[in-house]
Structure 1
Amino acid sequence: MTSAPAIELRTFTQLDPIRGDLLDVYAEVRAPLLHLPNYAVTAFGERLDRHSAEPGFTAVLAYDGDHPVGYAYGNRIEDGDRYWQRTKPAPDEQYTARPAVALKEIGVRPAWRGTGTARRIHDALLASRDEQYVTLMVNEAAGGGKVHALYRSWGYEGIGYSQPSAASPHLTVMIRSIR
């Protein structure tokens, strides 16, 4: 890992001021996959708009000066949420009995990878949350093996699989305690 760059982390609870920055970073982060319908920038924009309207939406963006270099965002999910309904096998009640944070997206531009920026963004997103667990989904088929290993090193464990939409790949559902 190279040394951490001098970046500023900014937290947002409203999408409007950052929507353009999120779309720009997403387009570079997911460039190798943009030809797939689920990864198209328009599909991401639709998910982003829906997620930002859900309870507990929070986003953290990393900036190098005025240049956005990475992001993460998530929101609160509760028992019965479609997130849990699509997870197979059904998650253990210990995870669903109380609200959790669903980390919906995290990404860092290639030039900032390997610098600890993703972990800093992740930790900043969770720092002010009062939920007990955080969950995320990983696409194993699209280079997710390396990402899966990274999340395991951050304390996440796999609990099942999900396919959020017909256009979506099968995803590994992972979870960990926030504290």
Structure 2
Amino acid sequence: MPVELRRSTVLTPPVRAALLEVYADVRAPLLHEPNYRVGAFAGRLDLHAAGAGFALVLGHDGGTVAGYAYGNTVGPGDGYWGRLAGPLPEGFADEPVFALREIGVRGRWRGTGAARRIHDGLLAGRAERRVCLMVNPLAGEGRVRRVYEGWGYRAFGVQPGSALSPELVAMVRPLG
């Protein structure tokens, strides 16, 4: 049975609770690290949900949430760009971009196409011309980055590591 997509632009308490539950399951091996703890994630989620252009998709399989993806619009001068090392390409941050903040799929649905379906459902109908994301290049021994490359993303920079986060690769692809 294909995953049913439920899209929202408002983080209601039931939607938030469902997202936090599936996040905890997807990220279970990492929850001991401060940046991956559910409380830290919940704080970022609330901040992003209050931002411009917020959208979220939950993928449902019957009564179970199989996965999720969410993001919001970042514009010129947004702190999103300031976290990146080195200068951006000329004009790169001059227009709004959709920042894919998080995507995750529970183990049972990995390798089924559910992540791509949720991803594409989130991006459908967006007004921005590009989507950006940041990925740990070591996640899944590099498999996660290769998945994004297979979806049309290309690297354009890095976010330096910190005490709370490893170095991340910033990736972009056109929308539409």
Amino acid at match of 2:155: G
Partner of 1:34: 31
The verdict on how the C-alpha distance between 1:164 and 1:51 changes in structure 2, with shifts beyond 3 A counting, is farther
The verdict on how the C-alpha distance between 1:157 and 1:84 changes in structure 2, with shifts beyond 3 A counting, is same
Query: Which deviates further from its counterpart, 159-168 or 134-143?
Result: 159-168
| Percent of residue pairs identical | 53
Shift in Å at residue 38 of structure 1?
Answer: 0.5
Partner of 1:178: 175
TM-score, with length taken from structure 1: 0.93
Shift in Å at residue 46 of structure 1?
Answer: 0.7
Aligned counterparts of 1:7 and 1:153: Cα–Cα separation in 2: 21
- Structure 2 matches for 1:4-43, cutoff 5 A? 5-16=1-12, 17-43=14-40
Shift in Å at residue 58 of structure 1?
Answer: 0.2
Query: Which deviates further from its counterpart, 161-170 or 12-21?
Result: 161-170
Q: Does 1:69 align with 2:60?
A: no
Encode CA deviations 1:90-123: one digit per residue, 9 max, x unaligned: 3223431210000000000000000101101111
Partner of 2:133: 136
How well do the aligned residues superpose, as a CA RMSD in angstroms?
A: 1.4
- Structure 2 matches for 1:96-135, cutoff 5 A? 96-135=93-132
Would you say how many aligned residue pairs link Structure 1 and Structure 2? 175
Of 154, 161, 165, the residue aligned with 1:168 is 165
Aligned counterparts of 1:155 and 1:55: Cα–Cα separation in 2: 25
Q: Check whether the contact 1:75–1:101 (CA below 8 A) recurs between aligned residues.
A: yes
Shift in Å at residue 139 of structure 1?
Answer: 1.1
Q: Does 1:44 align with 2:41?
A: yes
The verdict on how the C-alpha distance between 1:117 and 1:136 changes in structure 2, with shifts beyond 3 A counting, is same
Aligned counterparts of 1:165 and 1:132: Cα–Cα separation in 2: 30
Moved over 4 A (4+): 163-166
Q: Check whether the contact 1:138–1:144 (CA below 8 A) recurs between aligned residues.
A: no
Shift in Å at residue 141 of structure 1?
Answer: 3.2
The verdict on how the C-alpha distance between 1:144 and 1:105 changes in structure 2, with shifts beyond 3 A counting, is farther
1:59 partner SS: strand
